[in-house]
Structure 1
């Protein structure tokens, strides 16, 4: 209702005088779009306030809107743009669906509304946009895409967008998906348009997804080039609260397996909570599997870390921080205590499909070993099978898995090493990263607690 009221209070660009419409376009970087294109997609504006409304509709019903407001710094000077969604949870359906005829069987799927409008305007081919960019493809949007026999994914030459395109093609059905591979010559739709490139020519380069198990260098060539061109993106998402980790690990990347260990009571869960929260606050969709402490306690810890305040002494601010925390892409498995790895992997797979999870935290491996009535004598074999399952999941699902494992019993006076991880050497062999939380506070007067990187497959740099 609120979204519909907001839309009704605004007008189509076509109803504005030409000079006013042009000024609004320039304010919101839409000058490359024709007024007829904006009207076709139902885009409206408020000429009295620097505001543009992008509606998401289905069968002429308004489901949600994106509101863009311009904060002008000086008269006639473009300032910053602020985006908000109504409802606040954001859209779950694709943008532009109502512009496509019911008999249409092919569509171009882009990662932004302006990209979809640019494709439609320049190629006359039906185009729609993901509701939340390439960060996720909500399950609610899938039924509306079932009618299309061919879906062309055009997310541009950004490395993260390319990874998302490959992931979403599995979700949509790889047999009907075509992808425009990343290259300097084939950027995203808006970038291509502003560079004077012909969008129809780039669209004709779309190719179907190849067999998962066979690839040639000709297919890898542009991806290899992108790795060189976008080295910072390839390195992964940077931590803001742990800058030293950026120096050592370079970033948090999809498809990797991290093994994390530390002495009992050293604060492994507390550290991993803030470690994952840091990434989640930057848009890394996260799934937590906490088998040792329940989700309420974990949520309480995370909210405190998120607010960076003692919430028990600031209860009047609980709703403010809780509302913001609730909007993070953070999810929790309901398992507690001993659980089989099969059920855990099933839940992880479902979460990747539904919520586009990019990081799974499993705390800890020992609780998955206890289920199933296995004899104590084959505990190492069972641990190896769990590690193998996590390795396979991380690779196949292109999802980072962080696995917490307790260490062997060591002398308290000695530092933990890679060999201290409980079980056989398989865990550390399969891992891309091994992190150890060293805690010397109980064995030395001046003892300290610190994190040590003992394995780093990305570039080999180790340290404290």
Structure 2
């Protein structure tokens, strides 16, 4: 033993021509550290005595590349290691949950003597060089130590860490891979690949700069996700910054809950989901000064819908006209109320602040110029809308209103020295008040009374004042409102003096920094200069996040001298009272009707039977039950079901009533019980045969009943002159599967055995007709009777657009339903699966999973799809305009207990009769299908399987027909023709 490394004696028989050759089985024992390699070589030279020095060939044989290939060629599969050592290595390296198949994909092997694992690194891909030419460029070896007191592992790197070459798992990278995960540990890479199925690479985890050669390999990847261990997060950030890829993401310790991938995979029951969720939660690595739409979504959403957003924290009550322009009172903004001298700025400012304070907005008055007593007196009058005179001896009214206004969250800060108050003093008051009270509105009675304004020398100093005020509003999350002298811009040459230029500069700075600028403009009513009568108008010069500006005399300000209150009314652009209603109402009606028609119009396919008429009927049906049903689905499936039943049964009853009131009735109807199952019997006046029809209605197992199909069964009995029996089977969810099948079976068996006693019917001439879901029940009952060898048997089974399989939801007819009429009230794949799950008593939350075929594992699906091979369909069914051949199903089947229950139900032949293995000895059958029906193809598959089993099966198809066209045959001639064809087929086969 030399330095902890075992050196085996050499076989002198392998010394030829004075040169030393290592045996292949011994080469892997040499430690690849440079110092140990030289030490081992010196000891071997000493042992040989007869050889000293080294040749060029020996130097070449000791190169890192040669050593890597030699060690790799002598490695063995991991299944040839001793189980105790392999188990110990798995525990120490966090590989307990890694499957052997994952090891095989990453080419993990064992050392020749079986005491360690070898993790290869590559710089080539399999898709470039092929499997045979693929060779590792580096190795990482983990060996078990032989210290029994403190067992552990020794890590060896070939070549050493200073010349780190390649990545572990890089050979699996393909040009089509969208995402690649980079990790700093081989166990983490194996865990991510096994859990998420993504290509995972293990990169160099030692500190130091990354080599340019390795970075060039990473820049070829499309989407890079870096998942460093929590303790090496800075190393991951360094790698992310080193990559020039614009699509690089990083997983933070918070996102992975301070866990490595190997630790996450070890969590029982939720490791895979946790790893997948962590990868999805990765964050894009970008410069801090750059942002994308993804990052700005919440900030943008907050702008519109957050607290105090565009609509503000409150609205104006006294000045409701401002709501149309300013939209609301928002925090973090600066509002300036300006105007000329003696125009009433401060009076309006007082009522403006009072209106906001009455909305429970804490307000702070900063009285820089206005005496506090005068201000409170004005506020009391404006609040009470009453005048208080000195000669008025009754002070009860004043006391009452003063007590009321004192309850408002309004505070006053008085500053004695006018023109010497700094903005800093106001901030100190706000800070002292914030310790006990929250201030959201700060009112400054005169901005020009600030000391900063007095000392301002130019426009730049004025700009700083407004900037400081706006910054104060944003930092303290409050709204600052101030008054100041603002007047119209003077552009005439005669007014081009120093005062005018200074006022224009003030206006410009105010317009630049303020968020909202309201200006009171005065208009004299007479030309006489001595006339003091005038009108005030409020103009809106600026609103940063509001609506339109008002730069003309549009908003009129009416001042009440008694109460000192303003009223804002519409000015010059106002229409005469009541005129706007005559103009707006027709326009609103036209807009509303246009929007409704545009939203409701969903075009039907061009070849749709009676397209114009059905466009109206489908729209009415969609408004009556589809849209309300979708809305009620948000609350409960039970509510949706009740509403849909009510609407459909009511419409069916109305259609039947209209038919009975216009057509002569030559059919007698009564109700009987067939082995405790209710049934309705239709007996025509002219019965000319001893045959009978048993009819099973449709409705998705949950919706319709015998009354809903009264129109069809009544008409069918008249056309065939045969006694027709309609079975009232129990519906779900009140009676779940297989209650409906049991009812139909008991009723049919009872009728077959007692028909001759009841109505002198020949039991060998009974026809079974099933419509839609009733077609499913008819097929299942027919197969049940065949299995039980019940006699007498049914003569003919007639299936009208039946639902017979729940395996493949990507057939051409289903794809056509998705693409051509998915938004209509016609039966769609989602509703078909939903009502079937309700019928089976399963959770409707599985509908999306069933539509994706997640309830069928790929292996079993290959067997089941033999019954629904798309190539068996007629060529016209495979229209490329809507049909695309589905890709092979990946192994992403959910393995939960709930999905196993869904699979066991939906793949049962009593639910999917198309999956019945033995279809022989069934009665003669006819299947009716329609072009615009999701169930079209499975009806054809059922006929194909019957014919393969030797059953006489016929198929009739309507190229312009649609599902449920028989139910509205009074409106659709093709529906009447279909019922006539059904009657003709039945009479022909029973003649």
TM-score normalised by the chain length of structure 1 = 0.47
Q: Which has the larger radius of gyration?
A: 2
Larger relative contact order (CA 8 Å, sep ≥ 6): 1
